Structure 1
């Protein structure tokens, strides 16, 4: 069964890749460059992870998406939303506000449709592997099981070989994803889960905080120190 991993270089897609590889093969890793702040960091991380698992890696540039995106995730003149750990579960407040500020128009829908072009050329039974998760689905609906099911219906019409999306992480929280990553000896030292692209992760954006909280919940203090320093 041919497989393509949509690999951002972050926690979720990396663990999704490792979980899929337990029973299946992955033929290609795709990383999308749409001018996001952390694009070079994400590309470097994804390349290192693909090399770790001996998978060919391709970067797909999407300059038009950068032109059509005004969120703080791309627009460097806008300040990124900074949060506290206590804000992460404030789904009607700070967490929802953060999600709106970094929303990129139809990002996951676009990524999946582009990846499906590659997958259709791979033959019957091709799958797209994503790092969707239940925690972020609460504020990012394009991470949800419902979104994945809807896209799979679309692919029955738009691909001749019935490309499908799979996501072993989709039912997991970040804590559970880290748990699985530790079990599978995922190379956490290679991942980049920060909205920024500095020398070290910022430690205050939503993505950083969700990773930090999940690591601490799994007793991985050593990884917290390694990835975040003494923040």
Structure 2
């Protein structure tokens, strides 16, 4: 039997690549998506479509009530999403307090219940500048604690922790992945805005891979 793993899958291009990487490595993948009260659910709809097409187990869990406790982010509150590159100071408004610790804890509990022994998520080096819960020191500490938090040892796996989004896209294109099956923009309109930090980084990754982004943009 294949080894069971849980993949935290947002519907974005990073987690989409991680999801497919785990499948191609021969794991029995259980995808886990979260509605944590983000501005839109377009990513989650995309994630559901992808999992259906791949015929893999997928749960979308509504934890939006946590916003009673962890507000203040432009991704969850009525605060304008900043435009510009991820490394700009203004992008710190997109930090959702303690998000990845919460999501990883829930994913680890799910893994224990499935008798899986790994949880994958898509942190990468481009996130390090503004997201503390995507940095190597955070991942290392979470891995340490998740190995001892239950009778069963669960490993936290970040295949692209020290790679950029450019590298992730390079790997995905080598796998022949279709990135029209992803949504990256922080805004949930019909077309991607092309101006928020998520769009800017995505467009940069495609440009540096000499590839055409299959998504349509407003700008």
Q: Same fold (TM over 0.5)?
A: yes
TM-score, reference length from structure 2: 0.93
Does 1:228 pair with 2:219? no
Once the two structures are TM-superposed, the CA of residue 158 in structure 1 deviates from its matched residue by 1.0
| Partner residue, 2:90 | 97
| Partner residue, 2:63 | 62
Once the two structures are TM-superposed, the CA of residue 230 in structure 1 deviates from its matched residue by 7.0
Once the two structures are TM-superposed, the CA of residue 219 in structure 1 deviates from its matched residue by 0.8
Q: How many residues align?
A: 216
Task: Report the secondary structure of 1:49's partner residue.
Answer: helix
CA contact (8 A) 1:20 1:168 kept: no
The gaps in structure 1 that reach 5 residues or longer are none
The aligned runs of 1:154-169 (5 Å cut-off) are 154-169=145-160
RMSD across aligned C-alpha pairs, in angstroms? 1.5
| Larger relative helix fraction | 1
| Partner residue, 1:45 | 46
The aligned runs of 1:30-179 (5 Å cut-off) are 30-38=32-40, 40-68=41-69, 69-76=71-78, 78-83=79-84, 87-88=85-86, 91=87, 94=88, 96-98=89-91, 100-123=92-115, 126-179=117-170
Larger RCO (CA under 8 A, 6+ residues apart): 1
CA contact (8 A) 1:193 1:208 kept: yes
Once the two structures are TM-superposed, the CA of residue 138 in structure 1 deviates from its matched residue by 2.4
